[in-house]
């Protein structure tokens, strides 16, 4: 198979194992934990069941989006905290919702460049403990106060200080460049491409039902790393994010969350704030085989794309999909398993619609013909971010892991993973099932 990034190198990256601690709605199961703790649990879970020891790793890479200043290199802290030996370097990557995709592709690069034989790539995110800051004026005063010496200096502190300066500043999920929240932007985009409220609710319902089915059938079990949460150590074994009992009636009743009253995006057809972490073991193929390890899948070509954050904030997969397929000489019809990140139902439906649009292909992709229609029976069959939840920094590894597991479960050969991210960016990667 053609591989866009094979520069005469024979080194191939494979995913040996992947998993995640069960995703939890923010403020629930992991409410008292830091992102570091979640990352630690995921690393512990994957390395404890790994066919290699922690000391055999050459690198740990983890994605995260909202950083805790106490653990700014959360990959390192999580790795050490999970008992990975000191000598294994670790770094954190961040690229909004595709942060752990970046962790995976960085791992691939290290392996192809001969820098590493085994990399732990993962991601961690908590929305239960986001950093809330003082406002700028007060922050400046606090920093100045560190230099104060005399009493009169300290009196200066109160000069010009108003009670309102003490109000905290809670970070919004808004684009820095446009000032628009992701929900607003997506709502506009869905309207622009003519995605109805009903379609969105129907898609959301499908996602929840599929997640419930995959959970009940035990299909997700291989990727779920039970999390024993201190101090009580009640073991969390499943996601609490999806709603098995949801229905069109319930979804229809919800009012728009962002654009009122005409918007179509509601809490019901959006992905919710989620806490979670993921980890995968990525190895150089020959090194794995030498150790008697049977990998799950090859990690083949991948790509990153970027568009206008104003109008195409979450349309990345529509660009990344044809780009990676073209580079590998593949057609959409060659793909057996699709795993796409679902930020909003409106977003995913827009992506599906634009991929299947000749006009979009001609105007935006510089192609004569549409990319094609993705068959829904191959698409996000075990639920998606809408139902399983979306801990920003951790989702990418979930997608790759699920895709690899589905290849075996559904007897497919090729899988395509794609995801959108804030900043108007996107990513896609192709996996090929490994047969021992």
Partner 1 sequence: MSYLSTENEDGVLVVTLDQPGEKVNKLDEQLIGEFQDLLQNTDPDSIEGIVLVSGKESNFIAGADVEMLKNKSAPEGIEELSRRGNKLLLKLENYPKPVVAAIHGSCIGGGMEVAMACNYRVASEHSDTTMGQPEVQLGLLPGGGGTQRLPRLIGVQNALTYMLTGKTIYPRKAYKLGLVDELTHRDAVLTAAKKAVAKINKDNFERKDKRSLLHQLMEGLSPLRKIIYSQARKRSKSKTKGNYPAPDKIIDCVKEGYENGMEAGLELESVNFGKLAATPESEALVNLFFAMQGAKKNSDEDKGREVEKIGVLGAGLMGSGIADVSANNDYRVLLKDQTVEQAGEGKKDIWQRLEKKRKKHIISSFERDRISSLVTPTETYKGFKNTDLVIEAVFEDLDLKQSILQEVEEATSDHAIFASNTSSLPIEDIADAADRPEQVVGMHYFSPVPKMPLLEIITTDQTADWVTATAREVGIQQGKHVIVVNDGPGFYTTRILSPFMNEALMLLEEGIAIKELDSHMKNFGFPVGPAALFDEVGIDVAAHITKVLNDLFAERGVNPSTKPEELFEAGYKGRKNKKGFYRYKQENGKTKKDEPNEEIYEFFGGSGRTSMDADTVQQRMTLTMVNEAAWCLQEDILHNPVDGDLGAVLGLGFPPFLGGPFRYIDREGADTIVERLQKYEQKHGPRFTPADILKEHAQSGEKFHQD
**By CB under 8 A, which span of 74-82, 95-103, 323-331, 418-426 interacts with partner 1?**
74-82
Of 51, 89, 256, 372, the one binding partner 1 by CB under 8 A: 51
53 touches partner 1 by CB under 8 A? yes
40 touches partner 1 by CB under 8 A? yes
Q: Is residue 420 annotated as a catalytic residue, yes or no?
A: yes
- Relative to beta strand 227-229, strand 274-284 is unpaired
55 touches partner 1 by CB under 8 A? yes
Residue placing its CB nearer to partner 1 in the complex, 219 or 258: 219
Distances in Å between the alpha carbon of 417 and those of 19, 34, 81, 174, 396?
16, 28, 30, 25, 9
Four-point Cα dihedral 41, 56, 61, 27, nearest 10: 0
Residue placing its CB nearer to partner 1 in the complex, 379 or 434: 434
Distances in Å between the alpha carbon of 47 and those of 3, 62, 143, 159?
29, 14, 42, 55
47 touches partner 1 by CB under 8 A? yes
- Exposed/middle/buried for 158, CB within 10 Å: 0-12, 13-18, 19+? exposed
* CA 18 – CA 12 distance, rounded (Å): 17
Rounded to the nearest whole angstrom, what is the least distance from the CB of residue 298 to partner 1 in the complex?
22
Phi, psi for residue 80 in degrees, rounded to 5: -60, -45
**By CB under 8 A, which span of 47-55, 277-285, 328-336, 399-407 interacts with partner 1?**
47-55
Catalytic residue among 97, 186, 341, 381: 97
Using a CB cutoff of 8 Å and minimum separation of 24, what contacts does 218-222 make? 219/382, 219/405, 219/409, 220/382, 220/402, 222/19, 222/405
88 touches partner 1 by CB under 8 A? no
**Nearby residues of 192 by Cβ (< 8 Å), 6 or more positions away:** 311
What x/- string results for residues 212 through 241 when contact with partner 1 is judged by CB under 8 A? Answer: --------------x-x-xxxxxx-x----
Please give the structure tokens belonging to residue 70: 């106490």
83 touches partner 1 by CB under 8 A? yes
Rounded to the nearest whole angstrom, what is the least distance from the CB of residue 422 to partner 1 in the complex?
31
First to last CA, the chain: 17
Catalytic residue among 186, 208, 341, 420: 420
Catalytic residue among 208, 341, 390, 427: 390
Chain centroid to Cα 232, Å, comes to 28
Residue placing its CB nearer to partner 1 in the complex, 194 or 230: 230
Count of helix runs (H) and strand runs (E) in the chain: 14, 14
Residue placing its CB nearer to partner 1 in the complex, 47 or 195: 47
Residue placing its CB nearer to partner 1 in the complex, 43 or 189: 43
Q: Is residue 390 annotated as a catalytic residue, yes or no?
A: yes
Rounded to the nearest whole angstrom, what is the least distance from the CB of residue 48 to partner 1 in the complex?
4
Active site residues: 97, 390, 420
Residues that bind partner 1 (CB under 8 A): 37, 40-41, 43-45, 47-55, 80-83, 226, 228, 230-235, 237
């Amino acid at each position: 198979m053609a591989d866009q990034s094979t520069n005469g190198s024979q080194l191939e990256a494979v995913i040996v194992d992947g998993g995640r601690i069960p995703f939890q709605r923010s403020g629930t199961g992991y409410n008292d934990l830091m992102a570091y703790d979640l990352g630690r649990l995921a690393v512990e879970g994957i390395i404890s069941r790994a066919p290699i020891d922690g000391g055999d790793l050459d690198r740990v890479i983890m994605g995260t989006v909202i950083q805790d200043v106490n653990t700014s290199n959360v990959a390192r802290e999580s790795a050490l905290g999970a008992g990975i030996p000191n000598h294994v370097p670790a770094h954190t990557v961040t690229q909004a919702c595709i942060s752990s995709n970046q962790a995976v592709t960085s791992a691939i690069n290290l392996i192809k460049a001969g820098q590493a034989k085994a990399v732990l790539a993962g991601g961690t995110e908590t929305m239960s403990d986001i950093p809330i800051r003082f406002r700028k004026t007060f922050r400046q005063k606090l920093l100045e106060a560190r230099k104060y010496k005399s009493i009169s200096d300290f009196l200066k502190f109160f000069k010009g200080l108003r009670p309102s300066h003490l109000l905290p500043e809670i970070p919004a999920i808004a684009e820095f460049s446009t000032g628009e929240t992701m929900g607003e932007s997506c709502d506009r985009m869905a309207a622009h491409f003519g995605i109805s409220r009903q379609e969105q609710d129907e898609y959301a319902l499908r996602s929840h039902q599929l997640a419930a089915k995959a959970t009940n059938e035990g299909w997700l079990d291989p990727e779920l790393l039970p999390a024993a949460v201190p101090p009580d150590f009640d073991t969390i074994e499943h996601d609490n994010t999806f709603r098995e009992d949801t229905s069109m009636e319930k979804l229809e009743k919800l009012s728009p969350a962002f654009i009122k009253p005409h918007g179509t995006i509601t809490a019901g057809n959006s992905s919710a704030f989620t806490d979670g972490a993921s980890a995968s073991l990525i190895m150089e193929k020959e090194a794995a085989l030498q150790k008697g390890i049977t990998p799950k899948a090859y990690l083949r070509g991948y790509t990153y794309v970027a568009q206008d954050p104003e109008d195409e904030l979450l349309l990345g997969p529509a660009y990344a999909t044809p780009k990676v397929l073209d580079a590998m000489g593949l057609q959409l019809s060659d793909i057996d398993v699709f795993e796409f990140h679902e930020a909003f139902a409106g977003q995913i439906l827009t992506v599906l619609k634009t991929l299947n649009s000749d006009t979009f292909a001609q105007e935006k992709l510089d192609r004569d013909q549409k990319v094609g229609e993705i068959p829904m029976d191959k698409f996000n069959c075990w639920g998606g971010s809408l139902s399983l939840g979306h801990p920003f920094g951790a989702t990418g590894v979930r997608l790759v892991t699920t895709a690899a597991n589905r290849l075996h479960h559904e007897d497919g050969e090729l899988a395509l993973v794609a995801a959108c991210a804030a900043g108007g960016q996107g990513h896609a990667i192709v996996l090929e099932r490994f047969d021992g």
